[in-house]
Amino acid sequence: MRMNLLSAAALVGLTMAAGSAFAADQAQASGVTRAHVRAELQAARELSLSPVTEFNFPYTYEQSIQLQKLTARIEAQNQPVAPQAPVAN
C-alpha cells in the first residue's frame, strides 16, 4: 500500500514538472506580447469582429487581412517614441 502511494505521488510530481516545463517552452516559443494581443482585440472591436462566436469565426480571408493591417497600425501608434539625441551644429 505504501509503495503504491509513493509511486502515485512520484507519477503526479513528474507529470506536473513535465507540464510546467512544456508550458514554459510554449510561452517562449509563441512570441506574442500582451501589447500585440491588446492591439488585436482593439482592431477586432473596431472591425466588429469581436466577440468571436461560432457564427463569425473563422474570419474570411479579407477580414483577416483587414484585422492584420489594423492591428499593425494600432501597434505602431502605441509604440513609445524613443528620445532622440540632440544634434550639434
Q: How far apart are CA 12 and CA 20, in angstroms?
A: 12
Q: Across residues 39-59, what is the average pLDDT?
A: 79
Residue 25, pLDDT > 60, answer no
Q: Which structural domain, as residue segments, surrounds residue 70?
A: 32-77
The answer to whether residue 36 is domain-embedded is yes
End-to-end, the C-alpha distance of the chain in Å comes to: 84
The answer to whether residue 27 is domain-embedded is no
The answer to whether residue 23 is domain-embedded is no
**DSSP alpha helix (H) spans, the chain:** 2-30, 34-46, 61-78
Q: Across residues 20-35, what is the average pLDDT?
A: 69
How many domains does one find in the chain?
1
Q: How far apart are CA 45 and CA 38, in angstroms?
A: 11
**How many of the other CB atoms lie within 10 Å of CB of 75?**
17
The answer to whether residue 25 is domain-embedded is no
